[in-house]
Amino acid sequence: MPEYDTVADLYDLEYDHDYDLPFWLALAQREGGPVIEWGAGTGRIAIPLAKAGFDVTGVEISNPMLGLARKKSKSVRYVLGDMRSAKPDRRYRLAVCAFNSFLCLPSVDDALAFLRNAREHLLPGGLLGIEVSAFTPEELAETSGIPALHHDFTRELPSGRLERFSTSRYDAAAQLLEMRLFYELYGSEGELESKRANDLTIRVTGRDELVLMLRLSGFEVEAIYGGFEGEPFTAGSDHLIALARRA
């Protein structure tokens, strides 16, 4: 079962940020459509791109996530499928794989399968943009040994609040960060309405590994940024963004 199936209903409460949208919109304006988003989730990026007038396809493996995107907007062409193998029947000028969708691929082979598939679906000279979280060794080291429970955030909701806690364990050999997320939903009177736990694993990927994988998959890497303002990528960057053109 896709990992996001069981947390789809909470996704838009957890992730309502839009600081990355101007970056993807500017890229779409520069490159032109059609645009494909691989791992489109509930349409957080795909829908604003479509609203801006681009012809957008969103590929997503989780049916509940895609169902929520469909409810929010009919202006995106949705494809339920795996980014390693889905075959939308057209090719695109711009491909986006953002907000850690790439890190959901659990091995180098899975990442390469996706990159080759993404390349196949780009027009000659088309551009792929990948954005993932960058982790410092200290952040990952924190997660070795006995896992500590962290309070990640509180989200105030119209009818109460959502709290998230987590524990993480980092397997440095496999580069897998295994997280257990604990959600608690409280009602307007502060009463606990429901709680649940969900496991999520991501594969941490560094700059040079990403560059190498892109080259092996037939891309020329045009730019590496450490943030959405085009900052250089450094050891302290929170984001790793790669722009790579179909060679």
Ligand X SMILES: C[S@@+](CC[C@H](N)C(=O)[O-])C[C@H]1O[C@@H](n2cnc3c(N)ncnc32)[C@H](O)[C@@H]1O
Q: Which residues are at the interface with ligand X (CB under 6 A)?
A: 2, 4, 15, 39-41, 44-45, 59-62, 65, 82-84, 98-101, 104
The neighbouring-strand residues paired with 92 are: 122
**Sheet strand arrangement including 192-203:** 150-157, 160-171, 176-186, 192-203
State whether the Cα torsion 28-30-31-33 is positive or negative: positive
- The answer to whether the beta carbons of residues 205 and 111 sit under 8 Å apart is yes
Among residues 125, 112, 114, the alpha carbon closest in space to that of 59 is found at 114
Mention every residue, 6+ apart, whose C-beta is less than 8 A from residue 241: 23, 129, 130, 131, 223, 224, 225, 226, 227, 228, 233
Closest approach, Cβ 70 to ligand X, in A, equals 13
Q: Are strands 160-171 and 150-157 parallel, antiparallel or unpaired?
A: antiparallel
Nearer to ligand X, 104 or 128 (CB): 104
The minimum distance between CB 44 and ligand X, in angstroms, equals 4
* CB of residue 187 to ligand X, shortest distance in Å: 27
Taking the least distance from each CB to ligand X, the nearer of 61 and 244 is: 61
Helix (H/G/I), strand (E/B), else coil: 223: strand
| Least distance CB 43 / ligand X (angstroms) | 8
**Nearest to ligand X of 82, 139 (CB atom):** 82
- Closest to ligand X by CB, 45 vs 243, is 45
For ligand X, the closer CB: 44 or 186: 44
CB of 62 to ligand X, least distance (A): 4
Task: Please give the helix or strand (H or E) that residue 64 lies within, else none.
Answer: helix 63-72
CB closer to ligand X, 23 vs 186: 23
> Nearest approach, Cβ of 47 to ligand X (angstroms)?
10
Residue 21 main-chain phi, psi, to 5 deg: -60, -45
What's the closest the beta carbon of residue 2 comes to ligand X, in angstroms? 5
What is d(CA 97, CA 190) in angstroms, rounded to the nearest whole number?
38
Specify the residue, 2 or 32, whose C-beta has the smaller distance to ligand X: 2
> For 122, phi and psi rounded to 5 degrees?
-100, 145
